[in-house]
Amino acid sequence: MNAPPVRRQPTITAPAALGGLAIGGAAPRNERLRAESARTSPPWRLDGRDLGPLQAISDLLAAYAAILVAVGGVPAAAEISSRNAPLLALPPLVMLQLYVRGAYRTRLCARPLESLTQVVGAVSVATMAVVVLGLLVDGQAPAQASWLLGWMLAVLSVGASRACLSVGRGLARRRGLIGRPVLIVGAGVVGAQVARCLELYPGYGLWPVGFLDDHPRSAEALGTSRVTILGRVTDADDIVASTGVRDVIVAFSSVADAQLSRLIGRCQERGVDVSVVPRMFDAINNQVTYDSVGGVPLLCFQTASPRGGGAALNARLRARARVRGWGPDND
C-alpha cells in the first residue's frame, strides 16, 4: 500500500520572501536593491537632521533681524553705543539656548506648544544673559526699552520663522518632494502597521524601502503593495550600504534580541539613526519619562488626566495644525 500523502503547510521560499532579490549573485542583487530604493524614495533625500543646519541659520537670521529693528536699523547698529552693544550677542545666545533645549533634534511630528515654549524660554534666558553681560563689561545694563523690545521681537521673529519652516517642510513631505528612506526590521504585524502608517501619512517624512526579517509574513498578510522583503537580518550591512538608508525602525522580529542589539550597534557605527518600537507600546502614552536603575533603562508611565488644561490646549493646537496642513494626522 502506498503511504498517505503528507500534507505540508504553505511556506515562503527564500527567493519569494526576498522579493526576488536573492538571485543572480551579489552584484546584480545590489543593483536591484539600489533600484528598489530609488523606486520607493523621494526625489530629494533631505529631511530630519539634514534640515537641522537650515533651522539654526533661520533662527540666527530671525534673531538678528529682531535686534536690528530694536536698535533702530542697520545704520544705528553700525554706530551702536557701548551700552547697547551687548544686544548684538543675543542671536547666537538664542541659537545656543535652542540647541541646549533640543530644538534641533529630529522629530517626526510638529509640536506647536513645545516649540513655542522652547522659543520663549531660549529668548528669555538669552536676554537675561545679555543684561548681565552689559553689567559686567560696561558697568550698566542695556537700555530697558531696547532689550525689552529686542526680547519681544526675537520671540515673534524666531517663532514665525520656525512656523514657516515647519509648514514648508510639511507641504514638501506630503507632495513627495523631500523625505528619508527607512528600513523596517521585522515583517510582522507591528512592522506592517508601521509601514502602512508611513505610506498613508507622508507628512512623517519617512519612505519605507523594505523589510528585513528571517521569517517574514506573506505579502497578503503585510497588507502593503509598495514595500517588499529585501532580505534577512544578517544581510543588514549589505542592504544598508546598497540602499543608502540612514534610518532604521526596529519592530518586533522573529530573531533573538541579542542579534537585534548587534544590528543596532552596527547601524550606529555607520551613522544610521535607529528607532525602536518598545514592548507593550500600546500601553505607552505621551507622558512617558526615561529613568534608570543601576544602568538598566526604565520607561516610567505617568497618569495624565485627558481633561487637564495642558492636554486640552495641546490637543487643540495639534487639531488646528492638522486642519491647516502643518503636520501629520497623528502622533
Q: What are the tens digits of pLDDT across the range 54-73?
A: 889 999 999 999 999 998 88
With a cut of 80, say whether residue 207 has pLDDT above it: yes
Q: What is the residue range of 149's domain?
A: 49-174
Angle (CA) 291-296-300 rounded to 5° is 30
Check whether 225 has a pLDDT greater than 90. no
Final residue belonging to a domain, choices 277, 294, 321: 277
Same structural domain, 122 and 228: no
Domain boundary (174, 203, 225) is at 174
- Any domain includes 252: yes
Residue 170 domain-assigned (yes or no): yes
The more confident residue out of 48 and 89 is: 89
Most confident of 13-22, 80-89, 124-133, 168-177: 124-133
Query: Cα–chain-centroid distance for residue 114?
Result: 15
Using DSSP bridges, classify how beta strands 296-300 and 289-293 pair: parallel, antiparallel or unpaired. Answer: antiparallel
Instruction: Indicate the range of 17-26, 140-149, 304-313, 316-325 predicted with least confidence.
Output: 17-26
Q: How confident is the model at residue 190 (pLDDT cuts 50, 70, 90)?
A: confident
Q: Please check whether residues 27 and 84 belong to one and the same domain.
A: no
Residue 150 has pLDDT above 80, yes or no: yes
- DSSP for 8-26, written as a single string: PPP---HHHHTTTTTSS-H
Q: Model confidence over 287-330: pLDDT tens digits?
A: 677 777 877 777 777 665 555 555 566 566 666 655 555 545 44
For residues 39 and 64, membership in a common domain is answered with no
pLDDT at 294: 79
Give the pLDDT confidence score for residue 18 in this predicted structure.
41
- Same domain for 70 and 167, yes or no, is yes
Residue 45, pLDDT above cutoff 70: no
| C-beta separation of 199 from 156 below 8 A | no
- Tell me how crowded residue 330 is: count the other CB atoms within 10 A of its CB: 12
**8 occurs within a structural domain:** no
Any domain includes 1: no
Check residues 95 and 321 and name the one with the higher pLDDT: 95
pLDDT at 34: 53
- pLDDT over threshold 50, residue 6: no
Instruction: Indicate the angle between helix axes 90-100 and 112-137, nearest 10 degrees.
Output: 130
Contact assessment for residue 160 and residue 139, using Cβ atoms and an 8 Å cutoff: no
- In this prediction the pTM is 0.67
